[in-house]
Chain A
Amino acid sequence: MRGTISFYLNGELKVLSNVAPTQTLLRYLREDKKLCGTKEGCAEGDCGACTVNVSTLTADGAVKREAINACIRFMPSLDGVSITTIEGIALDSDAPHPVQRAMMDSDASQCGFCTPGFVMSLYTAYRNRTMLPLTDANDVLAGNLCRCTGYGPILKAAEKIGHVAKAADQSDDDRVELEQLRSLDHQVTVEIEQGDARAFLPATSDQLAEIYVAHSDATLISGATDVGLWVTKARRRLPKVIFLNRVRDLTLIKRNDQELIIGAGVTYSEAIDILKQTYPDLGELVRRIGAVQVRNAGTIGGNIANGSPIGDMSPALIALDAQLVLRHGPQRRTLPLEGFFLAYGRQDRKPGEFIEAVRVPLKTAADELKCYKLSKRFDQDISALCGCFNIKVLGDAVVSARIAFGGMAATPKRALSVEAALIGKRWDRPTVELAMQEFAKDFAPMSDMRASTDYRLRAAQNLLLKYYIETSVPLAQTRLVGHGNAFL
C-alpha cells in the first residue's frame, strides 16, 4: 500500500500525498502550479481548451501518448504517468517547437484562447509521428473547439506537422520519457486520504474485487468522462472513490473464433481498431463517440455501467447480442447486456459488483451490422438517437433481426415489435414499410434539447428504410461522413 501518487509534470517528478480525490488536473495546474497556459473553456470535456498530453506505460511496456481533457481528469488517476502541458513544449519565441512554428506560419490563432489546446492535440500527434491528411486531422482536432478561425489555418498547420514529425529525430525525448515512466511504480495499490475523503487505486482486478467488496459504497471511476461532470457540473462530493486506471488486466482485448472479449477498462481508443476490423460500422460509431480526448479516457465498461439511455456502445452491443461478465469478490456471473438495464438510472449490478468484461459473439457477418448515430453535429456530439440494426437475410427472407436503439427510451432498448414484423418475412420494401409502423409500439421517445418525439420516431422508422436501401441498391451512396462516405 502506497499513500502518495507520483507522476512526471513537464519532465519533473512530482510526489503528492495531500490530494483531494476529485481535484481536477486543470485546477492543480492553474491554481497549485500556476501553469495558466492550460485553459478552462467548459469544464466538461467538450471544448479541448484544457488539452494536455498524458503518456503512460502500456501492459507490454511501450509508451502510449494521448491527449486528454485536464478539466475532468482527477488527480489520483494520474499516478504513474507523465504529463506534458503547453509550458512543457517551448517558451522561447526564438526557438518555437515545430508544432508552434506550424501554427504561427499558418496564421492559425486569432483570439488565442483555444490555441494551447490545439497545440497539445497536435503535439501529441507529432510525438506519435501521426500523419495528418485531412480526415485524420479532423478526427485529431474534433475535440478542440475554435470560435475564430473556421479551422482552415489549423488544418493547414496539422498537415505540415505530420510531415515534420516524420522527419524529426525524437529519439532522445522518447528515451527520457520511457525511463521516467519505468522509474514509477505500477504494481502497488495506492490509497490516498484527504480529510474524510478516500481514493483507492488498485493495480489488479483481484485487488479491485477485494477493495470494492469492502467499500461497496465507493464510486468506481475509470475515464471520468461522465463522473467528472458530477463533480464539475453537478458539484457532487464523492467522499470515497476507486480509480480503475491502473488495473491493467481489465484493459485486455482477446479474440477467438467465437467471440471478442473486451476488458471493461479498455478505452474507446484502444478498442476502435479491432472493432473497426470486425464490424466497420461499429468502428465508425466509436469514432463518433466524444472526440479523441474523450475516447482516450472513456472506457467501454464505463459507458455500459453508467446506464445512460444515450450511450452509444450499448445499442450496438445489444444488437450483437453481447454478454456482460460481472464480478463480485471472487464470484463471476454472465448476463445478456440487454438484461443489465432495468430502468432509468438502475442496472442489474449488486453492491460491490463491477463489470469485468464484455463478450461480443462473432456470429454476425461484418456488413450485417449497421449503426446510425443521429445528432446535430457529426463529431463530438451526443446522440439524439442511435439505431443499431443486425438483420440476417437468407435468400429473400429475413431469418433473424436484432435492432436496438439509444435515445428512444429510458434505457438502451430493443425494437422487439419491429424485429417480429421482419423475421420470417420477405426482405422487400412492403415488409420494411409495414415494419416501420411497428416503431410506435416499441418506443415512445421524449422531446428534449436534442430532438423532438416526432423527429425521433420518424427518423428511427426511416433508419430501417435506410438499412434496406443500403442492402438492396448496389451502388447507392448513403453515408455523409466516415466509413463508406463518398465525399472525402
Chain B
Amino acid sequence: MSDAPKSSGQTSGEGASRVRGTVSSQVMHDSAFKHASGQAVYVDDIPMPEDCLHVYIATSKHAHAKIGAVNFGVARESQGVVAVISGDDIPGTNDIGPVVSDEPLFALGAAGGVVECEGQALFAIAATSLGAARAAAGKVEFEYKDLPALLTIEDAMTAKSWLEPPYKMTRGDVNAAMKISPHKLEGRIYIGGQEHFYLEGQAALVLPGEDGDVTVYCSSQHPTEIQHKVAGVLGVSFNAVTVEVRRMGGGFGGKETNGNLPAAAAALIAKRTGRAAKICYDRDDDMVMTGKRHDFRIDYQVGFDDDGRIHSIIMDQAARCGWSHDLSLAICDRAMFHADNCYYLANVLINSYRCKTNTVSNTAFRGFGGPQGMVAIERVIDEIAFKLDKDPLEVRRVNFYAADKDTASERNLTPYHMKVEDCVIGEIVDELVVSSGYETRRTEIADWNAKQPLLKRGIALTPVKFGISFTKTYLNQAAALVHVYSDGSVHLNHGGTEMGQGLFIKVAQVVAEVFQIDIDRVKITPTNTGKAPNTSATAASSGTDLNGMAALDACQKIKNLLVDFASSEWGVARDKIEFRLGRVQIGGNEIAFDELIAKAYLARVSLSATGFYATPKIEWDRATGTGRPFFYFAYGAAVSEVVIDPLTGEHRLLRVDILHDVGNSLNPAIDLGQIEGGFAQGAGWLTSEELVWDEAGRLKTHAPSTYKIPTASDRAPDMNIAIWKHGTNREETIYRSKAVGEPPLMLGISVLMALSDAAASATGRTQYPALDAPATPERLLQVITGGWG
C-alpha cells in the first residue's frame, strides 16, 4: 500500500476523525497508480533470468484426427532449440484436467496420438528465443488422418455424444399442469459463446530450484490447482511446487483452469533443463487454445394463464462443452440453477445435455452457465408478453418469487427445492421503474416509433437473481495469513487472487477495520501457495465473501491476543479495551496501535495468525436435485433502451438505468466498477461478440480484428448506475456485504430484450421476433426480414 498516493482519500494519522480505508469507504484500487504509470508487473514483465528459455506450444490444426509416428529430429537440431518435449517426456501423469483426468497435457508422443480439437496442445519446444521455438515447431514432421468430427450442438445431440447422461431438476407435475394451462407456447433460442478477451494472455514463468522444486509465477485464478497440476506432471508431491500470482490482466473465469497448460509445460522444461522457462500465449494462440463461455441451445414449452403467470415449464438445455470435461458439469448445473431467474415456476422440468464435441473445451466465464439459463427464461417471459399483448414487465412481476417479507407465501420454492428467503427483486424493480421513468418512456417510444419512417426504438427491464456459493460445497472454504510486524505494519496474505476486481483492496479494508489502522499500513502481498494452502479458485463471485472472512478470522485471533496482553499488562477488563482511530483505548489509558504492538512483541505475544472460513448452512444433494446450494442470492435490475435500423439490423444502446444490490457495500467505488463492467461484458456477449467456426471446426474469430468486444462508444451515452440503498445481507457475510463479481453481467440481458422489443416494433408486432444471441446486425435483420430466401 505504500505506493498509494498520500493525498487521496481520507486523511490519516492521529487526530483524524476516522482511519483511511476501512470498510465501506470509497478507497481506490491498491494498484491504481501502478496501473496508470505502467509499473504494475504482469508475468511477461518480470525480469527474466539470463538464460531463460522461451517455450512455444504446438497445437492441432485439425478438429479430430489420428496422428501417426512423429519425427522430432529436425526440430531438435534447429537453431536455438534447447528442448523438445512431448507426451513421452512427462515424469508424472500426462494430464491437466481440473476435475476429470481427461485432458492430456500433450496429445503427441513419438508414436503419435489422437487430437480431439483444433488448438489442442501437441508438444512444446523450448528455445533461446520465441521465434526460434516457433520456427522449430514447424519442422516437426507428422501427418493428420482425419476422423469424423462432431462440431455443433446439433451434431452432438444427434450422436448422443455427452460427457455424462442427461441430468434433470424437477418439481411438481409438469405434464398435468401443462395440459390445463389456458395458454401454451414453445420455442427455441440459441445463445452464443463468449471469448474472455482478458487483455493479458495466459502466461507462466517457472524457476527451477533446489531438490528439483519449482516456483511458478503465473496469471491464474487458481494457484492451488496450478500447484496440483504442475506436481502431477512432474511426478512430485504438492510441497515441491510453489505458485505465486501477484495480479492478472483480467480473468473473468478464463484463468480458472486454462493456466494449467502453460504452467505445466514450462515447469517440465524448467525441471528438464535446469533453466527458467517462460510461456506467454500471443492473442491468436490464446483465443484458439483456450475455452470460452459455453454456447447453449435451449428449447422450451410453457403453459401460462391470462395474466402471464407460468403454470408449467419444460426446458431442455443443451450446452457445447467441447472435447473434455474441464468445469462443464458444474457450469451446466449452474445454468439449471438459474433457469428460474427471479420467477416462481410452479411445475418445472429442466433437462440438461452436456454435449461432447470436437471443439475447444469450454470453461468458466463470469456467471458460469447462469447467464445462459437466465437468458432463456427472460426470452420465455418476453414471448409470453408478446402473445398476450402485455408489457413484458407486467408478466415479469406476476411471476416474481414471493418477497422476503411475505413469509406466508408458498411461491418461494426453486426448481431445486431451496426456499428463496431473501427475495428483494420486487422492491428493486419498483424503485427502478420510478427512477428510470420506465412507464413514461415506454409510451414516448411507442409514439416516436409510430412517427419515424425508418428507425425504431425499444426498451426492456430485466431482473437478476444470482445464487452465491460454489455449488460444490467443499470449495466454499478459504485461508488467510496475517502478520503484524513489531513496527505495527501489517502483512496480509490470503488465497484469493487479484484480477482487477478489487479483492485485494477489499480484504485489506477488512484488516484496516479490525485493527482500526490506516490501510496504508497494510501491505498487500501476492497470492502464494506457500502462505495460504489448499485454496479454492477465485471464482463464483466468492473472493471477498470467503477471503474477507478468513482474513477477519486471522485478525481477530491476533486482536484477541493483543487484548489479552493489554488486559493483563494494564490490569484492565477486556471489555474496557477498544481499538479506534489508529489507537487503542485501554481503560483510562490510550496508546498508539504501533506502541501496543511494540510492547506486545517485547512481551513475547504472537503477532501472526492464520485465518480460516467455511461457508455455513449450505448443502446440496446432486442425486436428488435438492438442497440449499446457495448461502444467499444477489439481486439487481436494469432498464435498457435501444434504437435499431430495420434496413441494416444495426443497433445502438441509448440509455441504461441499473439498480443493483451489493448488500452493505465494502467499497462503493469498487462495486460500481464491477456493476458497470459486468453489464458491459454481458451486453457485449449478447450483441457484438460473435464466435465463428468454419466447417472444419477451426475458429475464424481469433483476434480483436474479427472478435468485437465493446468499445467506449458502445457504452450508452446516458448511463445511470446505482447501488441499492436498502441493500443488506440477511446472512452473516463479511460486514453484511454481497458478492458482486458475476451478478451484474446478467443485467446485460436487458439489452437483448430491448432489441427484441424494437424488432417487434419494426415488424408491426405481427410475429414474435425470436432473436438469437449474439444479436448482430445480421441476426436482427434476419428476424425483421422473416428469414432469408
Contact = CB atoms under 8 A, between A and B. Distances in A.
- Which of A44, A139, A141, A372 neighbours the largest number of chain B CB atoms within 10 Å of its CB? A44
Contacts of B710: 150-151, 377
Interface stretch (B414-422, B606-614, B778-786): B778-786
A138 interface: yes
Interface string B701-725: 1011110111111110111010000
A41 B5 contact: no
B453 A476 contact: yes
A149 interface: yes
A377 B708 contact: yes
Interface stretch (B42-50, B288-296, B464-472, B589-597): B42-50
Contacts of A137: 712
A487 B711 contact: no
A309 B672 CA distance: 43
Nearest to B26: A107
B443 interface: no
Contact of B37 (A37, A135, A138): A37
Contacts of B452: 476-477
Contacts of A420: none
A148 B673 CA distance: 8
Nearest to B644: A480
Given A149-B676, A150-B715, A152-B719, A462 B648 contact: yes
Contacts of A111: 198-200, 247-251, 499-500
B35 A115 contact: yes
Contacts of B649: 455, 459
Nearest to A137: B712
A246 interface: no
B485 interface: no
Contacts of A135: 713
Interface residues of chain A: helix, strand, loop or mixed (majority): loop
A345 interface: no
Interface string A371-408: 01011111111101000000000000000000000000
Given A93-B5, A145-B709, A458-B788, A152 B715 contact: yes
Contacts of A275: none
B677 interface: yes
Given A150-B676, A449-B700, A103 B502 contact: no
Nearest to B777: A374
Contacts of A142: 711-713
B46 to A, nearest CB: 9
A52 B34 CA distance: 17
A315 interface: no
A351 interface: no
Interface stretch (A83-91, A168-176, A256-264, A317-325): A83-91
Contact of B31 (A112, A139, A466): A112
Contacts of A376: 688, 690, 708, 776-777
A139 B148 CA distance: 47
Given A151-B680, A462-B647, A37 B200 contact: no
Given A104-B5, A148-B673, A480 B38 contact: no
Interface in B10-62: 28-29, 31-42, 44-45, 47
B501 interface: yes
Given A150-B715, A152-B676, A454-B788, A93 B199 contact: no
Nearest to B248: A111
Given A91-B37, A112-B35, A147-B197, A465 B673 contact: no
A114 B36 CA distance: 9
B28 A469 contact: no
A167 interface: no
Contacts of B499: 111
Contacts of B3: 93
Contacts of B31: 109, 112
Contacts of A339: none
Contacts of B197: 145, 147
Contacts of A342: none
B35 A478 contact: no
A424 interface: no
A448 B454 contact: no
Interface string A446-488: 0011111011001100110110010001001110110000011
A46 B703 contact: yes
A34 interface: yes
A119 interface: yes
A478 B645 contact: yes
Interface in B733-789: 776-778, 781-782, 785, 788-789
Interface residues of A, number: 95
A377 B688 contact: yes
B121 interface: no
A94 interface: yes
B441 to A, nearest CB: 14
Contacts of B645: 466, 478, 480
B650 interface: yes
Interface string B254-298: 000000000000000000000000000011100000000000000
B397 interface: no
A110 B500 contact: yes
B67 interface: no
Interface in A141-194: 141-142, 144-155
Nearest to A451: B778
A35 B45 CA distance: 9
Contacts of A450: 706
B250 A382 contact: no
B453 A473 contact: yes
Given A100-B37, A150-B677, A480 B651 contact: yes
A145 B704 contact: yes
Given A107-B29, A113-B249, A487-B654, A377 B711 contact: yes
Contact of B705 (A46, A107, A108): A46
A39 interface: yes
B679 interface: yes
A444 to B, nearest CB: 15
B669 A107 contact: yes
Contacts of B32: 103-104, 107, 109
B199 A487 contact: no
Contacts of A107: 28-29, 32, 669-670, 672-673
A141 B712 contact: yes
Nearest to A372: B648
Interface in A75-127: 85-87, 89-91, 93-94, 96, 99-100, 103-105, 107-116, 119
Given A148-B673, A154-B712, A454-B789, A39 B200 contact: yes
A150 B744 CA distance: 12
A377 B714 contact: yes
A147 B676 contact: no
A109 B706 contact: no
A41 B38 contact: no
25 contacts: A37-B37, A41-B704, A91-B37, A93-B37, A94-B6, A109-B36, A110-B29, A111-B198, A113-B42, A138-B712, A145-B197, A147-B681, A150-B715, A151-B712, A372-B648, A451-B778, A455-B777, A458-B788, A459-B648, A463-B648, A465-B647, A476-B453, A477-B455, A478-B455, A481-B713
Interface of B: 3-8, 28-29, 31-42, 44-45, 47, 134, 196-200, 247-252, 282-284, 452-455, 499-502, 643, 645, 647-652, 654, 669-670, 672-673, 676-681, 688, 690, 692, 700-701, 703-706, 708-715, 717-719, 721, 776-778, 781-782, 785, 788-789
Given A103-B32, A376-B708, A459-B649, 9 more contacts: A87-B37, A147-B250, A148-B250, A150-B681, A152-B719, A374-B650, A378-B713, A381-B708, A451-B777
Interface of A: 30, 34-44, 46-47, 49, 85-87, 89-91, 93-94, 96, 99-100, 103-105, 107-116, 119, 134-135, 137-139, 141-142, 144-155, 233, 235, 291, 372, 374-382, 384, 448-452, 454-455, 458-459, 462-463, 465-466, 469, 473, 476-478, 480-481, 487-488
